[in-house]
Each structure stands twice: as structure tokens, then as C-alpha cells.
A and B are shown apart, each in its own frame.
Chain A
């Protein structure tokens, strides 16, 4: 092996380790979340969709655990719907939700 080749030696195992550490940490977060989260997310979508049109991809349900307490965070991005009347919009730009009577 020449000197140049020695310094250019493939050290890809280090990349493998770094990528795995990130990947496995991410996988474990998903694994440790309780089974009801996907169902909860589905039900939340169903309830909210009764009142506003939402994009299912823009709803996330996460359970964060800091070792002392758990926090359920539901994040819903509401669209700026054209069909909504202007007075429904609140001054902060979000949407006020007015239940529709059946």
C-alpha cells in the first residue's frame, strides 16, 4: 500500500456508526410511544374535520417524556380556507372555529 493510499484509506465504518446512532435513537422514540397514539390521532382528525377542513399530514400527536412527566402535544396546522368568511378570522391570523349546526 502506498503512502497516499494509506491516508486515503476507507474509514466508512465511522460513518456507519454515526448514522446508526441517529437512526436508532429516532426509531426508539417511535417504538416507545404507546399504541393508542395513532388511534388518538385518527379520532382527533375526525373530530376537528367536522368543523374545519384540515390536512391530515399537518396534524402531529407527540408524547414527550422528560423523565418526570409526560406531555401530550397536539399540533394542528389550520389552512387559510377561501370558503371561510373573513369575520371568522381572528386578528392573529389563525382561524376561529365556529361549530356548524347539523
Chain B
């Protein structure tokens, strides 16, 4: 079994799909049989538990564990749908200063003793919460929308990763970065209304992990608290599972780059799945 890995889901910009992606990737890893913990670093704006559908089971949180008010085992919530998946929710009441380098490091070390993969869901911005989420990262998945402000902020967070992570401070091999292009609308790209994959890759110059197509099923999944990777009927869910496979070293061709060909009936009722 390879050494446990810390992977941070980050973006700089808010609202691009970090939490959705963290939930989906953690669930996808668990589906592959990898013992996974996903941690919410967005102190004060707790949402990962909601997207994962375990909000009513939160008793203790990440900050309690850092402050030695609860043991890690008490705060971890086991997912009821997938084996191998645990959630460490964050505090809704405290502020981002509750995260300290020492405290976060101690909890991550303890998690490494139990889990094979630790997924850190970063808050938006480049302040303390985001810095804490990426500091210990071995790898980072940069969630980006094909849109100017998101691409710019992704470039900024790549700079932060290369200068302010522990790997950078120690002069170790850099944090391995991956691009996850979300909310991609191939139909709008083909009309020249949206930045295309090649444009974003050219600007950010990091390897592509996956393209997640814009899909109504993402909202539907968050409405019911289901990680989208657990919805096999959803194109976005399939795309996330592909991305997880690539993350684990599988060779999987990229999909969803061309507009979906809609049949006559689908056009008639004017909706796509």
C-alpha cells in the first residue's frame, strides 16, 4: 500500500465547485476501495456536511479536535452509502484563526495513520483557511471554471502552492497540481461564447485531470445531499469518476468535450439530462 496522501481541492475563487468536487472525489476514491477522509477547512461556513448529506450527524468538528475538546474518532462521520468514506466537518461558529499550523498538522498526521487518502476541501480566497488547507498538501486539484476571473484566481493559487506550501518551504519536490475544469458547456464553447479547454490549459499550463460538464444533476445531487459521483446517471458524476481514475494513475480518455447530440425528442422538450 502506498504512503497516505494529502490532496487539497482549491481554486482561489469562490463558487466554482470546490465543495462539490471535494465530495465527489472523496466519494469516487471510496468507491474504488480507498479508505478516504474528507475534511472541511471552511471554518465558519460549514457546507461539506450538507453536500455530503450528513449535516444532522455532526456532533464534534475539526476545530474541537484541534483544541483537544474531542478525539478524532468522535468527530469523524462515517458515510452511510459508501464503505471507506469518512467526513471531518468543520466548525460553524468559530473563525478561521481556530486553524493553527501545529493543530492542523497534528490532526493530519493522526489521519494518515488511519486513511490512505485525505481530501482537504479548501475555502475560497488566499487567507488563513485556504493557506492551512494547502500547506500540508502532497497534491492539489485546482478547480476552475472556463471564465476569466476563475482562471486568473487559479493561476494565483498555483503561485501560492509553489511558494507557501510546506513542500515549498522545505525545498522538497513541489505539490503536484491537477486542473479540474468544471461547469464546462461544450455547446457554448463550440459557439465561441466560452473559453475552451485548450485556452485554459495554455494559460494555466498544468496537467488536466478532468472536465466536468455543466449538468443540472449537480444541483439535484446537492439538493438531496448526495455526492455527485454516486449518481451513475449523471454525466457530471461519470466525469468525476473518470477524474478519480486518472488521479489514481489509470488512462481514461477525456469525455464531454463535444456538445451532446440531442435527439429530436429531447430538442422538442427542450432539456438535456
Contact = CB atoms under 8 A, between A and B. Distances in A.
A28 B205 CA distance: 13
A13 B195 contact: yes
A13 B196 CA distance: 8
Contact of B192 (A12, A23, A27): A12
B191 A9 contact: yes
Interface in B184-226: 189, 191-196, 199, 203
A19 B152 CA distance: 10
Interface in A13-30: 13-14, 16-17, 19-21, 23-24, 27-28
Contacts of B138: none
B191 A10 contact: yes
A13 B189 contact: yes
A31 interface: yes
A19 B155 CA distance: 14
B246 interface: no
A9 B188 CA distance: 11
A24 B203 contact: yes
B159 A28 contact: yes
A11 interface: yes
Interface string A20-63: 11011001100100000000000000000000000000000000
A35 to B, nearest CB: 9
A12 B159 CA distance: 27
A55 B147 CA distance: 38
Nearest to B159: A31
B192 A17 contact: no
B151 interface: yes
Contacts of B189: 13
B156 interface: yes
Interface string B81-113: 000000000000000000000000000000000
Contacts of B191: 9-10
A25 B251 CA distance: 32
B152 A23 contact: yes
Contact of A14 (B148, B151, B163, B192): B192
Contact of A20 (B151, B159, B192, B193): B151
Interface of B: 147-148, 151-152, 155-156, 159, 163, 189, 191-196, 199, 203
30 contacts: A9-B191, A10-B191, A10-B193, A11-B192, A11-B193, A12-B192, A12-B193, A13-B189, A13-B192, A13-B195, A13-B196, A16-B147, A16-B195, A17-B195, A17-B199, A19-B148, A20-B148, A20-B195, A20-B199, A21-B203, A23-B152, A24-B151, A24-B152, A24-B203, A27-B152, A27-B155, A27-B156, A28-B155, A31-B159, A31-B163
